Structure 1
Amino acid sequence: MSETGRVEDPLQDPSVRYRCYHPAEALVAEGHDCTVVAAATFYENPLLKHDVYVFHRPNMARANFASVLAGLRKLGATLIADYDDLIFGDEELALVSSAVKNGTLTEEKAIVAFKSNLAGLRQFDKVTVSTEPLAARAREFNPDAQVCCAPNVIPESILSIQRANQTPFLKRSATNIGYFAGTRSHDKDFPIVEAALHRVLCENPHFNLLVVGPVVMPRSLAALPNVNTAPVVNFLRLPSLMSMCSSVIAPLEASKFNDCKSRVKFLEAAIGGCRLIASPIPDMQAIGEDRLTLATSTDDWYEALSAPLAPEARIELAKRNFAFLENTSYNDALKSLAGLK
């Protein structure tokens, strides 16, 4: 069950895909019965047939929240809260959230939202999260809970298609760079790499930058002839679009909020067979520098962007990274917490 705003089509919500649909697919393949439902639908007409309920981003402000949880506990169900972003906590954390920095929420509304989400977290004694820093935050604010890290993964349904199409190994120009922003929440992140990108693209007019999504383009880059933009695409089309690039970038502003973010950009890059150059958030560091390139300073970004991988080296990296996707499981932690092992 997910607190998604896309009630009619929750599959289009990236957070719901990674935290609900992907693990559900793997569980169904093992013989379990799984249902994915939006919170707005679930609380109006709760499903009472399951043994385990995973509440993705539970919010105490939801009508019937407390009564539904009480009813499920009375039936003996196992209840788990799940998080893939730092959306709970005190005022300090609320004020550094991307929603505040990008103007999606006012400071006052963000504080209320974090407080309500925190109250929701404290209703659970079992919690799954997408990263270790997020696990530490969950333990900080709910110290009596059993917290497990269940990293984001790519399901076999997607892997099989890209495996059959050989997407990671498709030929592409070594000098094509991509930036794929699914939402406007990255407006504060792009400036981190702006100076390095501008220098690289000016010094190397045969390099090309493709920016996909609703991110605001800095004027210095938008004016360059070797920069192209495209609107956000359906997630099913993303791998083929990324396969046009040899390198993709994932800059993130340093903050307590971003420290808790996950490896999704690496997963997407690996499906497309791209080298990822990323800010060194902990979950990217956990992947390992043999699979991606971490950039801390403007000089780091410049050096990485100026040195594209040779085609043979990119293919070898793509093989390693695709194998990593095939061998990473979300459900080990979830099944352990739910008592399914």
Structure 2
Amino acid sequence: MVDVRMTQPLQALSSQPAISIRSSSGPLTLLPATSTLPRLLIWQRPMLSLTDSLESLRQLLRNGYVIVSEYDDDPGHWPAIAENRHLCFTGLHAVQVSTQPLAERIQPFNPELAVFANAIEALPAPRPAESEPELQRRPLRLFFGALNRQADWTPWIGPLNQVLRADPDRWQVEVVHDRAFFEALAIPGRTFTPTCDYPTYRRLMGSCDIAWLPLADTPFNRCKSDLKALEAAAHGLAILASPTVYAATFKAGLNGQVFTTADQLRQALTSWRADPLAMRELGQGARSWVGENRMLHHQVAAREAWYRSLWDRREQLTRLLLERVPELQG
């Protein structure tokens, strides 16, 4: 997620006048406290502890930084966060997140919070045109790429395999990351790629026709973003998804299909196999919606305005931070 939540948004922001970006996965050389240059440090998913992290935060404060936590998962999933009094939120000036449900989980610990939805940096080239006979002559390719999702796909592997086994020569499945899912598939036409870099992941996704996005309705999953649907839509894939997270995006206008039962899953796949032009039309509509509504350049101005407002209010925000974590004084 470093590409989507950090690298790409900051590159887009750096296109604005008078903004420069430095990034590092390790220690940074800090600007001195005497510098008058406005400076923010955006810290992705910091795991801070009361025993080991206070001095690092004090140093950033002494050097005049506004510190922002970039967070994109349900904090309740990691007990260490609560055990350290939510320092990764309370000990920073502000927090930015990807979804409103996640914002509602974090806001009690830091009210200075912004929601920047995940977005697409650039639309890939349009898919080559194919006639219905061409689509009927080749297998349809289904994409599944996720980590730690076995609990999400296990209830659906039976009906999925029923569709694949009924017509094995007309389906191929591209799997990224999840070896257990790959092994559970009941057809020979399957390909597995271990965890890979983001460009490879997107290239493999773009080679497919359908993105399958099962997601169980759990508190952890409800904090997730709709990024996978946006990525698939950008490539013109037809999206078949669980309602958790994705139904709201479909309601907002993204073309896609929700399944809540085994029959709905089977019906969607068999109908697309019978009418691949309808599948392709759905994907093309989704691609157009992403281009009009969920591109990174759409939010550059809002990001810049919020970051500049944090700097302008830094004294007030620092006072509030020290009230939340008095150990950082001095």
* TM-score under structure 2 length normalisation: 0.76
Q: Which runs of 5+ in 2 are unaligned?
A: 311-330
Residue in 2 that maps onto 1:294? 258
String of CA shifts for 1:233-279, please: whole Å, max 9, x gaps: 43223343223321111111221001001112112202321011112
Pairing partner for 1:318 from 265, 287, 290: 287
User: Does the residue aligned with 1:301 lie in a helix, a strand or coil?
Assistant: helix
Residue in 2 that maps onto 1:16? 2
How far apart in 1 are the matches of 2:63 and 2:194? 47
Query: Post-superposition shift, 1:173?
Result: 4.1
State yes or no: 1:335 paired with 2:322: no
Q: Is the 8 A contact 2:177 2:196 kept in 1?
A: no
String of CA shifts for 1:214-249, please: whole Å, max 9, x gaps: 313358843423444343443223343223321111
Q: Which amino acid aligns with 2:208?
A: C
Residue in 2 that maps onto 1:139? 107
Residue in 2 that maps onto 1:122? 90
Residue in 2 that maps onto 1:152? 118
Query: Post-superposition shift, 1:125?
Result: 3.9
String of CA shifts for 1:280-332, please: whole Å, max 9, x gaps: 22365135354222222323322222221414454344333344444763444
How far apart in 2 are the matches of 1:228 and 1:59? 36
State yes or no: 1:77 paired with 2:43: no
Identity, % of aligned pairs? 21
Query: Post-superposition shift, 1:116?
Result: 4.1
State yes or no: 1:280 paired with 2:226: no
Q: Which amino acid aligns with 1:241?
A: L
Residue in 2 that maps onto 1:197? 160
Q: Is the 8 A contact 1:250 1:279 kept in 2?
A: yes
String of CA shifts for 1:107-144, please: whole Å, max 9, x gaps: xxx4235534822211134211001110010114x1x5
Pairing partner for 2:176 from 181, 204, 213: 213
Q: Which amino acid aligns with 2:103?
A: A
Q: Which amino acid aligns with 1:210?
A: V
How far apart in 1 are the matches of 2:301 and 2:268? 35
How far apart in 2 are the matches of 1:126 and 1:219? 41
* TM-score under structure 1 length normalisation: 0.74
Mapping for residues 163-312 of structure 1, pairs under 5 Å: 163=125, 166=126, 168-169=127-128, 171=130, 173=135, 176-183=140-147, 185-217=148-180, 221-282=184-245, 285-288=248-251, 290-308=254-272, 309-310=276-277, 311-312=280-281
User: Does the residue aligned with 2:289 lie in a helix, a strand or coil?
Assistant: helix
How far apart in 1 are the matches of 2:15 and 2:92? 27
Query: Post-superposition shift, 1:62?
Result: 8.8
How far apart in 2 are the matches of 1:21 and 1:136? 25
Query: Post-superposition shift, 1:18?
Result: 1.3
How far apart in 1 are the matches of 2:198 and 2:215? 21
Q: Which amino acid aligns with 2:3?
A: R
Residue in 2 that maps onto 1:3? none
Q: Is the 8 A contact 1:129 1:151 kept in 2?
A: yes
Query: Post-superposition shift, 1:47?
Result: 5.1
Q: Which amino acid aligns with 1:58?
A: P
Residue in 2 that maps onto 1:10? none
User: Does the residue aligned with 2:151 lie in a helix, a strand or coil?
Assistant: coil
Query: Post-superposition shift, 1:169?
Result: 4.5
State yes or no: 1:36 paired with 2:28: no
Q: Is the 8 A contact 1:55 1:79 kept in 2?
A: yes
Of structures 1 and 2, the one scoring higher in RCO (CA 8 A, sep 6+) is 2
How far apart in 2 are the matches of 1:328 and 1:192? 38
> Size of the alignment, in residue pairs?
294
How far apart in 2 are the matches of 1:220 and 1:55? 37
Residue in 2 that maps onto 1:68? 56
User: Does the residue aligned with 1:29 lie in a helix, a strand or coil?
Assistant: coil
